[in-house]
A and B are shown apart, each in its own frame.
Chain A
Amino acid sequence: AQKITQTQPGMFVQEKEAVTLDCTYDTSDQSYGLFWYKQPSSGEMIFLIYQGSYDEQNATEGRYSLNFQKARKSANLVISASQLGDSAMYFCAMREGHDAGGTSYGKLTFGQGTILTVHP
Chain B
Amino acid sequence: NAGVTQTPKFQVLKTGQSMTLQCAQDMNHNSMYWYRQDPGMGLRLIYYSASEGTTDKGEVPNGYNVSRLNKREFSLRLESAAPSQTSVYFCASSEWLAGVPETQYFGPGTRLLVL
Chain A residues at the B interface, C-beta cutoff of 8 Å? 4, 33, 35, 37, 43-45, 47, 50, 52, 91, 93, 95, 102-113
Contact = CB atoms under 8 A, between A and B. Distances in A.
17 contacts: A44-B106, A44-B108, A45-B90, A45-B109, A47-B103, A50-B103, A52-B101, A91-B43, A93-B43, A109-B59, A110-B42, A111-B42, A112-B40, A112-B41, A112-B42, A113-B40, A113-B41
Contacts of A103: 50, 96
Interface residues of B, number: 27
Interface string B25-46: 0000001010000001111110
A52 B101 CA distance: 8
Contacts, number: 64
Nearest to A95: B102
Given A45-B90, A91-B43, A104 B102 contact: yes
Interface string B77-115: 000000000001010101010100111111011000000
Contacts of B96: 103-104, 106
A43 B87 CA distance: 12
A45 B93 CA distance: 12
Contacts of B103: 35, 47, 50
Contacts of B42: 4, 91, 93, 110-113
A107 B58 contact: yes
B74 interface: no
Given A44-B106, A106-B96, 12 more contacts: A4-B42, A33-B101, A35-B103, A47-B103, A91-B42, A93-B42, A103-B96, A104-B102, A105-B48, A105-B50, A107-B33, A110-B42
A37 B104 CA distance: 10
B43 A110 contact: yes
A95 B33 CA distance: 13
Contact of A47 (B41, B43, B88, B105): B105
A106 B41 contact: no
Nearest to A43: B109
Contacts of B41: 112-113
Contacts of B102: 33, 95, 104, 106
